[in-house]
Structure 1
Amino acid sequence: MAKYTVTRACGHQERVDLIGPHRKREYALEQMEGSDCYACVEEKRQKENEENAAAARAAGWPTLTGSERQMAWAETLRAAAVAKTRDSAAWWPEKYPELEENPAGIIEAALLAQTSAAWWIDNRGGEIAGAVTVAAADVARALGLLQLLQREDLGPHILVRPTINLPRPDAYPLTPMVRAAVCSCGWQPYPQKNAALAGRDHIEGLAAEELEAVRRAHPQDVPHACTEELGLRRCLMRPFLRQ
């Protein structure tokens, strides 16, 4: 172990103990010299949190709930997520030329509806995906992905699972997406990650006459509108209709 005196980017000096090979210690010292000390980082973070909290109050955003530390952090996460959502408004028409409504407003409303500071902390970095998951049906409808639900010849309780692509964050190699699950009756599971099990329970919970009508519209052993006219590989309702 070796002791070093490091002058941080903020001008403050710190006494640090480092272990490991000489090259590794040199690298650690370079990183420390290029960043502020812990006290300055905390001061900047606290100031940013306070500024975002004041801006949220001025904008009339809902008050967050949680511990004082959680709420302070969540204010900054919320402000950044709303800003990213507003910046993405121009992206949606480019990706979905046939959209019926720009979903940026829907996503922002879903974000602001989350008043638990813990939700913001748990979803940090993926706040937009979390909001789309909450408002999956409204977002999919705005993007024109639910035309299937308008097909009366497909029978009652049509369950579809459109894929909603999201704006790609900077330095993120893959296009993030959300698989929505929406029923023609307006039902959608939450959280969406349990859509398969929730969909089965939703269908099985129908009254006997409703379930029979669904089975008639989606036969198990012959092709029908889902597979023939819409070009799907399989009927999306079949997994939920097996007797």
Structure 2
Amino acid sequence: MAWYYGTFSCGHEGRVSIIGPTKDRQWKADREFEGLCEDCYTKSREEAKERKRQEALRLAEEMELPELQGTAKQIAWAVTLRQETIERFEELLEMSDTDFSFEGKTKDDIKKVLHYLLETKTTASFYINNRFEQTFKLIETYFDEASNADIEREEKEILEEIKTESTVFPENKITNA
């Protein structure tokens, strides 16, 4: 192991520890100094995360998505994860019909699952815990719940319509109650 001193691409002076054969060490050190120093690298990553989070917040506001529940740190992370989930679903929906096939499910079924997840899964922990789940696994897991929720919504609408139609109002109605 040897220490090499130099100037990083960000202009900061520093040192790097290089291990391996002596003949390769200078080359490895030169590659290290072509990048950012540790502080600048960390700062640039944090800035990139913040830009991504702000963009996700803007898109969530545009789509009128419900606010996520959880701690401030969980929400800050989950907003970005939720946007990534939406993007994965959209990539799947953009596939041509000839390329698309998933266990007999149509694109409308997939849209139904996506809308169900966005409307009902409002805890930050859901998106954090499912961040590594494949889109197909989410569809498979939540398809039945989404279908049942859709049926329940239709039943409520029908009952509301029946209630409205069956309600008798006086001819000279004073209020809208």
Same fold (TM over 0.5): yes
1:125 to 129, 132, 145: 132
| 1:115 match: secondary structure | coil
Aligned residue number for residue 7 of structure 1: 8
Inter-partner Cα distance in structure 2 for 1:108 and 1:5: 51
Contact kept in structure 1, 2:4 and 2:18, CA below 8 Å: no
Query: Aligned letter for 1:76?
Result: T
Aligned residue number for residue 18 of structure 1: 17
Q: Percent identity?
A: 20
- For residues 152-203 of structure 1, the C-alpha deviation after alignment (integer angstroms, 9 at most, x for no partner) is xxxxxxxxxxxxxxxxxxxxxxxxxxxxxxxxxxxxxxxxxxxxxxxxxxxx
Return the index of the structure with the highest Cα Rg: 2
Q: Please provide the CA RMSD for this pair.
A: 3.4
Q: Cα distance 1:14–1:115, how it changes in 2: closer, same or farther (>3 A)?
A: farther
Q: Are 1:96 and 2:101 counterparts?
A: yes
Contact kept in structure 1, 2:68 and 2:122, CA below 8 Å: yes
Query: Aligned letter for 2:46?
Result: E
Q: Cα distance 1:97–1:59, how it changes in 2: closer, same or farther (>3 A)?
A: closer
Q: Cα distance 1:122–1:16, how it changes in 2: closer, same or farther (>3 A)?
A: farther
CA drift of 1:115 comes to 1.9
CA drift of 1:129 comes to 4.1
CA drift of 1:33 comes to 3.2
CA drift of 1:90 comes to 3.9
Inter-partner Cα distance in structure 2 for 1:62 and 1:19: 50
Contact kept in structure 1, 2:5 and 2:16, CA below 8 Å: yes
Inter-partner Cα distance in structure 2 for 1:130 and 1:100: 13
Q: Are 1:108 and 2:114 counterparts?
A: yes
1:40 to 38, 44, 61: 44
CA drift of 1:37 comes to 1.1
Inter-partner Cα distance in structure 2 for 1:17 and 1:100: 54
CA drift of 1:3 comes to 4.6
Q: Cα distance 1:127–1:120, how it changes in 2: closer, same or farther (>3 A)?
A: farther
Q: Cα distance 1:136–1:31, how it changes in 2: closer, same or farther (>3 A)?
A: farther
CA drift of 1:123 comes to 2.0
Inter-partner Cα distance in structure 1 for 2:101 and 2:6: 55
Query: Aligned letter for 2:67?
Result: T
Contact kept in structure 2, 1:49 and 1:73, CA below 8 Å: yes
Aligned pair count? 138
